Structure 1
Amino acid sequence: MNRAAIDALPLLPFFLPASGGQRYCLLHLPPPGQTARGGILYVHPFAEELNKSRHVAAAQARAFAAAGYSVLQIDLFGCGDSSGDFGEARWDIWHNDLHLACAWLAQRINGPLTVWGLRLGALLALDFASNPPLPLARLLLWQPELDGRRVIDRFLRLRLAAGMLAGGGQEAPGHARAALAESEAVEVAGYLLAPALAHAIDDVSASALQPAVPVYWLDYQGPEQAAAPLPPLARHWRDQGAAVHVASFGDGPFWHSGELLACPQLLDATRALCRDWLDEERTPP
């Protein structure tokens, strides 16, 4: 299917009723007249990375739709165009959002269900898949975050950097962490981070999770880097009996780039890595 045909595929925006309000969704549909071969749920990354990566996620969602899948992009509670403020977001609410989205897809599609996450969304997908509400076929992880505490530490460093650039004096390292420990919310780059969300993310580590479904894992590899070895966690999962497929891409870290990066290498690498189900899988009779 050519680019023009892919861009013209049906797209349904809607609000999904949920606890605490509504969740904004985009449903990418297969070509008209074609029954969906399965469903794919996309789990977006954290804070501003959501906005930086929307265009790449949408391009991949269209590619999956062209291959015959119905793809649901959902803005989690407190994110994007969904109900709630970011400061009200909680890890368990996001779990419930994924539960709701999976159930919505399963009611409408007679086929396997895939959960696909980017960055912290990949870690959320892994955590969610450890006890899913219904059977999943696989996980697709784009540049997965593997340790929640490192995610929060890196996010808090944005606050330090912003303070230095503003010339208002450098905040003492550890100040934001101390505030969170005292149950005080912290503002970072325009996002109000609640202690409950920060602590919940701190407690999530991919090393403590064992996927029960095949994992397809893509990491960024810069042009100056040698061929990346198999990530240690992927090797550990394999040793524990999990099917883990790993590949890399070189377009760039689009999730925090100052400009919108087109990522054809990532889309091509995803297609190649997932060929076993994109090319061969069929909806059960």
Structure 2
Amino acid sequence: MSDGYFLATDRGHLYLARFGELAGRHVWLYLPPFAEEMNLSRAIVARQARAFVESGEAVVCLDYLGSGDSELELDQTDLDCWLDNIRAAVIWLQQQGAASVGVWGLRFGALMATTYLEQRGTNGYQPIDRLLLWKPVLDAKTMMGQFFRMRQVADSIKGLPKVNWQERVKQGETVEVAGYPVSTNWLRSISELRMRDQIGLHMPQTIWLEAASDKISPAVDKVAQLWPEAGLTLQYCEGSAFWQNPDCYDSPALIQQTLDSCQELREDVCVQ
């Protein structure tokens, strides 16, 4: 069972896609990656969500304001807005009778998940009791540099002169990249995020899956070592980088490994 719901907030309507019945179940709140990675990953995220439903859990996928099917444009939002979006969704899940809530983030969504827990996750509403990270972005500044290169490549193909569009945004100009209007305020607030700065002492039990990888890189291992003791399961899973591949619609190994890891985590949480 899946459907969509528009949640009213002070800034606009958030779109939530629901997979499975929420009341009395553990619910995963899914936080998407940024820009086109969000669109390219939807098919596999939906497959994973249905697999969670078959295992007795539920999933709600969030589109931040200014993205996906939610209201506003990107340049009308910023980091605080998106953190408030997550909080609104968590409160809504509590109102729907969810027995417990976990956060599942892909790429930039994984970085947003840890940022939310570090900055907003202990304010009196339903706590997050587990965390699932798929191929996290470690540094948003690096991510945005890669994003702006798409505009430079597009300009080059058209024979236009080379422009430092990221610097233009920093100076106050709103620049469109791949159809997304990037404002100074949005860029400044997002670019400051680094995974190593968003790991608090009270992180819930966490599964970190390095998707589309045949090993754990030194950069990932260095960040993982900052996790609270015994709070992190770090694994890798080979396969396609589906968030960049428009022809990839399934990732059975990743889906099964996620289910197996989450089953072990669920058993550990229940024991505690």
Q: TM-score, normalised by structure 1?
A: 0.86
Aligned partners of 2:114, 2:182: CA distance in 1, in Å?
A: 22
Please point out which of 150, 157, 175 is paired with 1:158. Answer: 150
Q: Which residue does the alignment assign to 1:20?
A: 11
Q: Which residue does the alignment assign to 1:60?
A: 48
Equivalent pair of 1:36/1:69 in contact (CA under 8 Å): no
1:206 aligns with 2:157: no
Matched-pair identity in %: 29
Gaps of 5+ in 2: none
Aligned-residue offset at 1:277: 3.4
Count of residue pairs the alignment pairs up:
265
Equivalent pair of 1:90/1:197 in contact (CA under 8 Å): yes
* Residue type of the alignment partner of 2:206: V
Equivalent pair of 1:271/1:278 in contact (CA under 8 Å): no
Change (3 A) 1:242 1:181: farther
Aligned partners of 2:157, 2:97: CA distance in 1, in Å?
A: 50
Q: Could you report, residue by residue, the CA deviation over 1:85-137 in whole angstroms, capped at 9, with x for unpaired residues?
A: 12222111111110000001112234221001111111111100113143110
Please point out which of 150, 173, 177 is paired with 1:188. Answer: 177
Equivalent pair of 2:111/2:136 in contact (CA under 8 Å): yes
Q: Which residue does the alignment assign to 1:271?
A: 259
SS at match of 1:72: strand
Aligned-residue offset at 1:278: 4.4
Q: Which runs of 4+ in 1 moved over 3 A?
A: 225-230, 277-282
Equivalent pair of 1:67/1:278 in contact (CA under 8 Å): no
Question: 1:11-90, aligned counterparts within 5 Å?
Answer: 11-30=2-21, 36-90=24-78
Q: Which residue does the alignment assign to 1:233?
A: 223
Q: Which residue does the alignment assign to 2:115?
A: 127
Aligned partners of 1:92, 1:65: CA distance in 2, in Å?
A: 31
Q: Which residue does the alignment assign to 1:218?
A: 209
Please point out which of 100, 111, 126 is paired with 2:88. Answer: 100
Q: Which residue does the alignment assign to 1:5?
A: none
Equivalent pair of 1:246/1:273 in contact (CA under 8 Å): no
- RMSD, aligned CA: 2.3
Equivalent pair of 2:74/2:181 in contact (CA under 8 Å): yes
